[in-house]
C-alpha cells in the first residue's frame, strides 16, 4: 500500500509546546526508522494507529520526532512491523528524551545506580513525588510550559520511579528539609497525598527518609540540594542543579566534599524512625 499524502490532521495541533527539548535528535532517528518499517509493511498511519490504539496524528508526531513514544508503544510497534528489535534497541535512549536536556546525563546515571543519596531543601525529590505533586511543580515553572510538555515531564518523572522495583533495588536515602514538607505546592490535598507517599517510601527496606527540622540550629546544607550516586562499577558521582543549570561532577575531591557534607546532614537530621513520626505529625496538622 502506497504512502498517502500527509493530511492536515498530521500537523502538530499544539505547536511548540509539544516539541521535545533541544538535543533530542534520537526522536527524529527513531521516527525515521518507525516510518521506514511502517511503509515497508505497507500500512497506512491510520491503520497502524488503529491496531495499536493511537490516532493517525499521534503516529505522525512519533514519526516526525515531535513526541516521545512510550515504551509499550515501541515494543508493540517493533513486533507488529517485524522490525527485528531495531526499534526496541532505541527504547532506552528514546525514554531519556523525555527529560529536559540539562537532566539527561543524570537520569542515565541514576538508572544505573546501586546507591543514591539525596539532599532536598526546595521541593520533594523527584523520585518520591506523587503524580499530582509533580504536575503542580511543573505547572509553576516560568516561563510556563505547554500542557503537553508538562505531561511529558510528569510521565518521565514517574518513569524514574521504576527504580524502586528493580531487583536488586539500589540503596537510597533522602534528607529533606522540613520547609519542603510544609510548603503546600499544589494545595493542601496534594501535600497530604505527598506526605502519605513519603511514609510509604520510608517503609521500604532499601529506603531511608530523614527530616531536617526547622528548629535545628545546625544545617550544613544551606548551599542547596545535591545528589550522590554510586554506580555498579564503583564510580562516585555528584549531581547539582540550580535554575535548570546542572553539573555532573566526577572529580574525586569535589565529590568527596559533598559526601562529607551529606554525612553531617544525616547526623544533624532526625533519625529515619523519628522522621516518619514527624511526617505523621505534619499530616495531622493538615
Instruction: Please give the pLDDT value at position 98.
Output: 67
Query: Is the C-alpha dihedral spanning 174, 263, 182, 280 positive or negative?
Result: positive
- In this structure, how many other beta carbons lie within 10 angstroms of the beta carbon of residue 252? 10
Query: 67-104: per-residue pLDDT in tens?
Result: 888 888 999 999 999 999 999 998 877 877 766 665 66
Instruction: Please give the pLDDT value at position 100.
Output: 63
Query: 264-276: per-residue pLDDT in tens?
Result: 999 999 999 999 9
Phi then psi dihedrals of residue 212, to 5 deg: -95, 105
**Degrees (nearest 5) of the Cα angle 191, 192, 196?**
115
Instruction: Please give the pLDDT value at position 101.
Output: 63
Instruction: Please give the pLDDT value at position 24.
Output: 59
Percent pLDDT > 70 in the chain is: 89
Instruction: Please give the pLDDT value at position 102.
Output: 59
Burial of 203 (0-12, 13-18, 19+ CB in 10 A): exposed
State pTM to two decimals. 0.71
CA distance 44 to 255: 53
Instruction: Please give the pLDDT value at position 156.
Output: 82
CA distance 36 to 220: 55
CA distance 263 to 250: 18
From start to end of 12-167, where are the E strands? 113-120
**Residue numbers of the chain with a pLDDT score lower than 50:** 1-23
CA separation (Å) from 251 to 135, 150, 159, 199?
34, 34, 29, 35
CA separation (Å) from 56 to 11, 27, 37, 115, 206?
10, 18, 16, 42, 43
What average pLDDT does the structure give for the chain?
A: 87
Amino acid at each position: 500500500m502506497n504512502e498517502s499524502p500527509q493530511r492536515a490532521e498530521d500537523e502538530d495541533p499544539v505547536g511548540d509546546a509539544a516539541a521535545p527539548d533541544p538535543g533530542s535528535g534520537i526522536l527524529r532517528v527513531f521516527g525515521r526508522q518507525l516510518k521506514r518499517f511502517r511503509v515497508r509493511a505497507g500500512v497506512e498511519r491510520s491503520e497502524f494507529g488503529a491496531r495499536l490504539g493511537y490516532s493517525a496524528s499521534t503516529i505522525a508526531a512519533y514519526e516526525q520526532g515531535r513526541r516521545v513514544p512510550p515504551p509499550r508503544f515501541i515494543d508493540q510497534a517493533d513486533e507488529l512491523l517485524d522490525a527485528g528489535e531495531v526499534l526496541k534497541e532505541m527504547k532506552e535512549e528514546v525514554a531519556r528524551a523525555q527529560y529536559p536536556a540539562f537532566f539527561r546525563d543524570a537520569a542515565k546515571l541514576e538508572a544505573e545506580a546501586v546507591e543514591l543519596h539525596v539532599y532536598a531543601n526546595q521541593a520533594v525529590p523527584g523520585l518520591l513525588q506523587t503524580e499530582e505533586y509533580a504536575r503542580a511543580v511543573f505547572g509553576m515553572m516560568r516561563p510556563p510550559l505547554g500542557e503537553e510538555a508538562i505531561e511529558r515531564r510528569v510521565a518521565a518523572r514517574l518513569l524514574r520511579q521504576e527504580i524502586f522495583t528493580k531487583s536488586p533495588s539500589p540503596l537510597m536515602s533522602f534528607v529533606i528539609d522540613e520547609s519542603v514538607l510544609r510548603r503546600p505546592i499544589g494545595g493542601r490535598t496534594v501535600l497530604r497525598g505527598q506526605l502519605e507517599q513519603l511514609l510509604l517510601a520510608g517503609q521500604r527496606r532499601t529506603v531511608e527518609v530523614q527530616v531536617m527540622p526547622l528548629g535545628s540550629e545546625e544545617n550544613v546544607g544551606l548551599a542547596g540540594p545535591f545528589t550522590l550516586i554510586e554506580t555498579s562499577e564503583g564510580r562516585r558521582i555528584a549531581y547539582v542543579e540550580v535554575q535548570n543549570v546542572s553539573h555532573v561532577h566526577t572529580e574525586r575531591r569535589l565529590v568527596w566534599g559533598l559526601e562529607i557534607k551529606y554525612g553531617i546532614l544525616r547526623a544533624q537530621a532526625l533519625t529515619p524512625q523519628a522522621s516518619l513520626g514527624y511526617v505523621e505529625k505534619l499530616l495531622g496538622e493538615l
